[in-house]
Structure 1
Amino acid sequence: MRISVIAVGKIKEKYLKDGIEEYRKRLSRFCDLELIEVEDFRAPEGLSDAQEQQVKSRECDNILKRIREGSTVIALDIRGESLGSEEFSRRINSFFVSGTSHITFIIGGSLGLDDRILSMARVRLSMSKLTFPHQLARMILLEQLFRAFKIMNGETYHK
């Protein structure tokens, strides 16, 4: 099983880097994990709708270059489907059981994802109704993936 996480921007905070590295280690016994960072583009407050779309489009171009052919794409989107941990685990497992060998999660920048990414996604997933910084979303996603694999394997994990 191969999982890629393509995310816009670099992680700067040490505590996030440490947390991401910890979950990368934990996930290594369940899957081959690839973390890919693509360039983010400056998006100051007060951009027009057209300027915001231009930023998302440039970020999208970079993301599209990194998606491997044949991979199942899951886009993190605030307007997406909200799943509990058990349902998330079942959904991930169903992809692998049905023959999918590679899943790519995509985390956009501060403005979200371009419609080209959203339309190609097999699943649009909302992490919460709460708003998280997109850098923190990476660590939360990896924790939820670890939890999902523990559930899939019938292993205990705190609730």
Structure 2
Amino acid sequence: MLTVRILCVGKCKEKYWREACAEYGKRLSAFCRFEVLEVDEERLPERPSKAQIESGLEQEGKRLLQKAGSTPIVALCIEGKELSSPQLAQYVERAAVNGASSLAFVIGGSWGLWEEVKRKAALRLSMSPMTFPHQLARVMLCEQIYRAFQIAHSGKYHK
């Protein structure tokens, strides 16, 4: 059974976001092993310099890569490729068919993702050219992963 992880920077603070992710996690248990792993967000000053931002991204990125290990990474970033839900389903299905035992979807912090994380990614994925709060992006990603499995298994969820 495929293991799907969402690796993200920062905690999901509001209860309703955590509950939404937990609901999709429960639904996904029929299709895969699913977990959300969080790494600490670097604390930066109110108006950080470019160097401070880069240093923070590097520290967060190193923690994300450590959690990912040798798992193929899908980096969520605005400059990534936009996929339809059926295309995401095909990507996940192909990864499993090609022998991947796990996938890690990575969501950066408020300043984005360290370039090294993006370089190591098997896929750079954009949810939209719009910007979303990270907690909402996490819930949206959980839903899209669930939808991908529903599509792959001809479920009724995706119409």
Using the size of structure 1 for normalisation, the TM-score is 0.95
Q: AA paired with 1:78?
A: I
Residue matched to 1:57: 58
Task: Please provide the CA RMSD for this pair.
Answer: 1.1
Deviates more, 1:106-115 or 1:128-137: 128-137
**Superposition pairs of residues 1-159 of structure 1, within 5 angstroms:** 1-69=2-70, 71-159=71-159
Q: AA paired with 1:142?
A: C
The unaligned stretches of length 5 or more in structure 2 are: none
Q: Give the Cα separation in 2 of the matches to 1:23 and 1:110.
A: 24
Q: Give the Cα separation in 2 of the matches to 1:81 and 1:46.
A: 31
Q: AA paired with 1:59?
A: E
Q: Is the 8 A contact 2:151 2:158 kept in 1?
A: no
Shift of 1:35: 1.2
Q: Give the Cα separation in 2 of the matches to 1:125 and 1:38.
A: 20
Q: Give the Cα separation in 2 of the matches to 1:4 and 1:18.
A: 17
Shift of 1:96: 0.8
Residues 21-68 of structure 1: CA distance to partner in whole angstroms, max 9, x if unpaired? Answer: 100100010000121100001245532211110110111121122113
Q: AA paired with 2:66?
A: K
Identity %: 42
Structure 1 counterpart SS, 2:117: helix
Residues 117-136 of structure 1: CA distance to partner in whole angstroms, max 9, x if unpaired? Answer: 00000000001111111111
Q: AA paired with 1:148?
A: A
Structure 1 counterpart SS, 2:36: strand
Q: Give the Cα separation in 2 of the matches to 1:4 and 1:68.
A: 12
Shift in CA distance, 158/67, structure 1 to aligned 2, threshold 3 Å: closer
Structure 1 counterpart SS, 2:103: strand
Q: Give the Cα separation in 1 of the matches to 2:35 and 2:15.
A: 19
Aligned residues: 158
Shift in CA distance, 118/112, structure 1 to aligned 2, threshold 3 Å: same
Q: Is the 8 A contact 2:4 2:102 kept in 1?
A: yes
Spell out structure 1 runs of 4+ moving beyond 4 A: none
Deviates more, 1:126-135 or 1:41-50: 41-50
